[in-house]
Amino acid sequence: MGTGNLSATTVSSIYDIEIIPRRIPYKKETTQGFTEPDFKDALEDDVEIAETPIPIPGARPIQLRVVDTPGLDDSKAGKDDDHIIDILRTAERVDSITGVVFVVNSTNPFTQSFMGFLKYYRELLPKLSEKFFLVHSNFGYKQV
């Protein structure tokens, strides 16, 4: 998986992850004391966010199987074909695929090459093409 700044993935890997649903408490100081702001308020600078998320009572854990793959269109020259073969071989080891997440750098999101890869995957996985998700990296709420 990536380091947050750049991708560390050089070969495809499968990870089983359990997610405990949590809420992140935050508060906003007002003239009446502290209140729980709505989501819009949460984007403001004067909102204090707790460091520790609180588990949601009664929420069941979510089980995910994630296939982390090398990036395309940002890899060393000539490696994209090798990465595609590696991705397809790894996908064969998974029982089912319910969605495909593409992580795209928000500073250069839709290059011609990326659009070509997206079209290729849409043709390769037609039943999943409606379950493609784009996630932008290098993007913060203040850029909204």
**Domain carrying residue 50:** 22-55
pLDDT at 75 over 60: no
Is residue 117 domain-shared with residue 97, that is, in the same domain?
Answer: yes
91 in any annotated domain: yes
Is residue 138 domain-shared with residue 102, that is, in the same domain?
Answer: yes
Distance CA(42)–CA(35), nearest Å, equals 11
Distance CA(79)–CA(16), nearest Å, equals 27
Distance CA(136)–CA(107), nearest Å, equals 9
Q: How far is CA 88 from CA 68, 101, 124, 127, 132, in A?
A: 12, 15, 10, 16, 16
The domain total for the chain is 2
Summarize pLDDT for 109-139 with one digit per residue, the tens. 688 888 888 888 888 888 888 888 888 887 7
pLDDT for 73 equals 65
Give the DSSP H or E segment for 135: strand 132-137
pTM: 0.61
14-18, 38-42, 45-49, 137-141: least confident range: 38-42
Is residue 74 domain-shared with residue 101, that is, in the same domain?
Answer: yes
